[in-house]
């Protein structure tokens, strides 16, 4: 009786090993012209088994458990993940700036500019810093310092007390915005960004006595939204979007930039 049990146990063990050995994944790796790619690495997704393609691009991997997907890697080609099929053919495409998949987080440094808005005569300049991959983050700041301009004497009535102020025609105007948000890759190499922060525009007129009168009609400060698109061309980035201040209505400022990733 004991011998029968031992014999049966041994038979079941051998049978299970034989079943495991039957999980074989085979296929061929080619380029988009159908030429075989030798030396490509093929690995089981979620497993430890892997192999290298032969001179004719074929491969065979024996697994202990049924495999669902394989991953193929080859220098200069896009990494590809494919569902396991009988005698499958896997086509790899060359990696270009348009289809490059990000492999790791990279730093982003970009010089920013803002189109002069109504009432601000000198352009705004600044920086955008962040980390990019599929999802990342950024902080941005743009600033245009106050600038005086010459002009003729004009009379400006103060509605609060109806006293007429004489201005020299000189004024001081400034704009700045600070925002932070997220970067999301839509499709290589296009990313969308959206953020929020604070924006302020100040316009002050010089009075005849040398003091400055703040023009509240053209000045605002408060909550701002920041949104746009970022394009990656190799290491170079180009972005364009809008800074929208929600203080005192909606005020829009066009924003653009050029930078690098590393």
Domain ranges (residues) in the chain: 24-92, 106-261
Q: pLDDT for 10-28, tens place per residue?
A: 555 555 555 445 689 999 9
What pLDDT, on the 0 to 100 scale, is given for residue 49?
A: 93
- Give the whole-angstrom CA distance, residue 171 versus residue 151: 9
Query: Around Cβ 203, how many Cβ atoms within 10 Å?
Result: 21
Q: In what order do the strands lie in the sheet with 58-62?
A: 58-62, 24-31, 88-92
User: What pLDDT digit, counting tens, does each position of 134-187 carry?
Assistant: 999 999 999 987 665 555 444 445 554 444 567 777 777 788 999 999 999 998
Helix (H/G/I), strand (E/B), else coil: 175: strand
Contacts of residue 197, defined as CB under 8 A and 6 or more positions apart, other chains included, come to: 140, 177, 178, 179, 180, 223, 224, 226
Q: Does domain 106-261 have CATH number 2.40.160.20?
A: yes
Please name which of 252, 261, 246, 250 lies closest in space to residue 228, comparing C-alpha atoms: 252
In this predicted structure, the answer to whether residue 80 has a pLDDT above a threshold of 60 is: yes
* Distance separating alpha carbons of residues 247 and 195, to the nearest angstrom: 16
CA distance 249 to 212: 25
24-92 is a CATH 2.120.10.30 domain: no
């Amino acid at each position: 009786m004991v011998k029968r049990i031992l014999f049966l146990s041994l038979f079941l063990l051998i049978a299970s090993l034989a079943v495991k050995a039957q999980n074989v994944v085979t296929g061929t790796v080619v380029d988009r012209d159908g030429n075989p790619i030798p030396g490509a690495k093929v690995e089981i997704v979620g497993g430890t088994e892997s192999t290298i393609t032969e001179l004719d691009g074929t491969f065979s991997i024996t697994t202990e458990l049924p495999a669902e997907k394989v991953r193929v890697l080859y220098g200069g080609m896009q990494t590809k993940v494919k569902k396991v099929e009988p005698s499958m053919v896997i086509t790899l495409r060359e990696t270009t700036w348009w289809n490059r998949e990000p492999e790791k987080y990279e730093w982003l440094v970009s010089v920013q500019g803002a189109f002069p808005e109504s009432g601000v005569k000198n352009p705004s300049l600044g920086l955008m810093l962040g980390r990019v991959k599929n999802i990342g983050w950024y902080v941005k700041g743009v600033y245009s310092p106050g600038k005086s301009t010459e002009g003729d004497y004009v009379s400006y009535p103060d509605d609060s007390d109806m006293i007429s102020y004489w201005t020299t025609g000189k004024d001081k105007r400034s704009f700045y915005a600070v925002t932070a948000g997220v970067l999301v890759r839509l499709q290589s190499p296009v990313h969308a960004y959206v953020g929020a922060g604070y924006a302020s525009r100040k316009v002050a007129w010089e009075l005849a006595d040398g003091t400055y009168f703040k023009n509240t009609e053209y000045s605002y400060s408060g909550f701002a939204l920041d949104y746009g698109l970022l394009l990656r061309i190799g290491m170079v980035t180009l972005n364009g979007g809008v800074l929208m201040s929600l203080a005192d209505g909606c005020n829009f400022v066009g924003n653009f930039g050029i930078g690098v990733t590393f």
